[in-house]
């Protein structure tokens, strides 16, 4: 598989710092819980939290709809739920990539039942090519029209997460 750099690591970090500043402004005086969607979000999540100037409580959910294919299976698998109580709390869901929107929609609905004070979404990549569920992304790093992306946590069959840049796989 050939890869082409789409977004350099330097550009990613610059955008993550911008997102951290904006979220910090919007949540000044609040104590939000940042909920990362594992596994792909790990690098983005760490860099984002370190770019904040406000206190941040963190937790994680593990959910996916891909398996080992390059297209979504459409089946959402929840493998880990949040541990912190979320009732009456401000939540910021942090996602690496929003593609079909199915996983994110499922997570939002699952959390909304628990009556948080509010739910916002921060996504590194908004990729609309295969969108099946409309979801609101309050804080977006990059909008990408198409292509299968790897690197900076994004994977293909658990490969390429380690790449510092975001690359497009070209067959």
- Residues annotated as catalytic are 99
The tokens for 92 are 């910021």
How do 33-38 and 90-98 pair as beta strands? Answer: parallel
Strand partners, 156: 159
Instruction: Count CA atoms closer than 13 A to 108's CA, side-chain side.
Output: 19
Comparing CA positions, the residue from 32, 30, 28, 163 lying closest to residue 96 is 163
CA dihedral 138, 141, 143, 146 (to 10 degrees): -120
Ramachandran quadrant class, 26 (left: phi over 0; alpha: psi -120 to 50; beta: rest)? alpha
């Amino acid at each position: 598989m050939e890869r082409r750099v789409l977004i350099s690591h330097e550009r990613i970090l610059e955008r993550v710092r911008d997102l951290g500043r904006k979220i910090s402004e919007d949540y000044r005086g609040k104590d939000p819980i940042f909920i990362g969607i594992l596994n792909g979000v790990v690098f983005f999540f760490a860099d984002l939290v370190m770019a904040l100037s406000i206190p941040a409580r963190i937790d994680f959910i593990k959910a996916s709809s891909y398996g080992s294919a390059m297209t979504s299976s459409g089946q959402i698998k929840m493998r880990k739920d949040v541990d912190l109580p979320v009732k009456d709390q401000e939540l910021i869901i942090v996602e690496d990539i929003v593609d079909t929107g199915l996983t994110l929609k499922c997570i939002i609905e699952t959390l909304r039942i628990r009556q948080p004070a509010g739910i916002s979404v921060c996504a590194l990549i908004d990729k609309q090519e295969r969108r099946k569920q409309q979801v609101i992304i309050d804080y977006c790093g990059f909008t990408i029209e198409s292509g299968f992306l790897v690197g900076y946590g994004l994977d293909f069959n658990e490969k390429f997460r380690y790449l510092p840049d975001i690359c497009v796989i070209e067959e």
